[in-house]
Structure 1
Amino acid sequence: MSPSLTATDLLPREKLAASGRAALSDEELIALFLRTGIPGCNVMELSRDLIRKAGSLANLGRMEADDLQSLCKGIGIAKAATLTAAFELGRRAIQEEKAQVSINTAQDVYDYLAPEMLWHVQEHIVVLLLDIRKKLIRKVDLTVGSLTASLIHPRDIFRAAIKHNAHCFILAHNHPSGDPSPSEADRLLTDSVEKAGKIMHIRMIDHVVIGTASATRDQPYYSFRPPSFTAGELADAVYTV
């Protein structure tokens, strides 16, 4: 670095080379992917404008390419596709890393799913298929519902569990409102899946509703798991039919 220049004087690419990626601001990182600005707006101004119009970096990250083009009329498909691909790559890297750990508690479920599910504006139901050691085999997306409800049948869950030879599974879905309190439909679904699990001998060890953190509630999720069960008991327990 030239003695006459400070890190803040450098362009994003040069700043990254000199100080590492963590030294860059959100706007500078976005500018690296956009590469150039648009008429009347340089690349840094464009980056700041995108975050401002989206409301937050998180909101920007959940957008598809066509959303970005609608957000800023001067952005073409190449810039929009590059930026959305960058966000998706980062999300997948996080999911891959988390897939290597065991999932034993509702907090584990929340930590694994929240980075993705909190972005959804509709209800998404997923199932986490686990082996006998509670290692994640696969996350299966089951259905997307309306803003207020999702429809699913237990057979969809057990079809996936059997296909991937799961020992047990965890059902999870988000509440776009942010309030994880279970609805009557949530309770009915939990009951029907538990009953089906007894027949199939594939245990549903929990159903977790993903919400958002709030000062008015103790935790940003709701767990249907009976409090009398410990993680070890759940792993070892068998159904009698």
Structure 2
Amino acid sequence: MANYEQRIGIKQWAEADRPREKLMLHGRRQLTDAELIAILIGSGNSEDTAVDLSKRILASCNQDLDVLGRLEVKDLCKFRGIGEAKAISIVGALELGRRRKPGTTAKVRIGGSEDCHKEFSPVLTDLPHEEFWILLLNRANEVIVKHQVSKGGLTGTVADPKVIFKIALEHNAAYVVLAHNHPSGNLKPSAEDITLTKKLVAAGKLLDLYILDHLIITNKSYFSFNEEGLL
């Protein structure tokens, strides 16, 4: 029987959903790892879009960019649709990222709010608008990934609990740390901040995904819900 389903290529997607256009419209932080890799490789194959192909590559590395960064050109060329030129682009880009911020492949372990602040500070300071991020940890309190949940205006941003827990479940996280910034410099949590935190803590317990802390970050300091006994 004929197959009437046709693969929808990236060029047929809504403009805002294409990786390059998405980066131009919303900034690089809005893109997933797969979308960033898709920009590097440019196109997929007859069966997969560039994004789908990138997802398969990441899945083979257990979603770990450090593992991906250790692959050689010949390893990447094993994926259908990845030739030498595309493989070299991926290897070169990841090597540049490694040189930009030298470090170790060892996972970062979170021991308290100060450690959380160190993780969030690079992405939540010096912003003219509010953003909401989450830090996902495994059962050893090691960082799995840091993820932007939403981006708002000067006075607020919306953090959808469904989105937060969907991301956490996809990464098999055990613990979640919440964070958002206050561009005004005011560290005091709003009534909305407190209500949202309580809602997320309660929902997390039902899913065995425990909220360890919620940080409010300004350019000069931070406020910890955990340290203030507000969890």
Q: Which residue of 2 aligns with 1:132?
A: 139
Structure 1 residue 166 and structure 2 residue 173: aligned? yes
Question: What residue number does 1:67 align with?
Answer: none
Residue aligning to 1:195: 202
Residues 228 and 207 of structure 1, relative CA distance in 2, 3 Å threshold: closer
Q: Give the corresponding residue for 1:93.
A: 101
Count of residues in correspondence between the two structures: 138
CA drift of 1:179 comes to 2.0
- Counterpart in 2 of 1:119? 126
Contact 1:98–1:112 at 8 Å: present in 2 too?
no
The residue number in structure 2 matching 1:223 is 224
Secondary structure of 2:101's counterpart equals: helix
- What is the 5 A alignment of 1:1-241? 93=101, 100-213=107-220, 220-225=221-226
The answer to whether the Cα contact below 8 Å between 1:173 and 1:210 also exists between their aligned partners in 2 is: yes
Matches of 1:170 and 1:198, distance apart in 2: 14
Moved more, 176-185 or 121-130: 176-185
CA contact (8 A) 1:99 1:136 kept: no
TM-score (ref. length: structure 1): 0.51
Alpha-carbon separation, structure 1, partners of 2:227 and 2:209:
17
Q: Compute the TM-score of the two structures, normalised by the length of structure 2.
A: 0.53
Secondary structure of residue in 2 paired with 1:150: coil
Say if 2:136 and 2:177, in contact at 8 Å, map to a contact too. Answer: yes
Output the amino acid matched with 1:209: I
- Post-superposition CA distance 1:152-171 (Å, at most 9, x none): 22111110111000011101
Identity of aligned residues (%): 34
> Displacement of 1:228 after TM fit?
7.0
Q: Give the alignment's Cα RMSD to 1 decimal.
A: 2.9
Any conservation in 2 of the 1:173–1:208 contact (CA below 8 Å)? Answer: yes
- Distance in 2, Cα, partners of 1:111 & 1:119: 14
Shift of residue 194 of structure 1?
0.7
The superposition leaves residues 49-87 of structure 1 with CA deviations (integer Å, 9 ceiling, x where unpaired) of xxxxxxxxxxxxxxx8xxxxxxxxxxxxxxxxxxxx9xx
CA shift, 1:178, in A, is 1.9
Structure 2: distance between partners of 1:193 and 1:92: 35
What are the superposed Cα offsets for residues 6-56 of structure 1, whole Å, 9 maximum, x if unpaired?
Answer: xxxxxxxxxxxxxxxxxxxxxxxxxxxxxxxxxxxxxxxxxxxxxxxxxxx
Unmatched 5+ stretches in structure 1: 1-63, 65-84, 214-219, 235-241
- Unaligned runs of 5+ residues in structure 2 are 1-26, 28-92
Larger radius of gyration between Structure 1 and Structure 2: 1
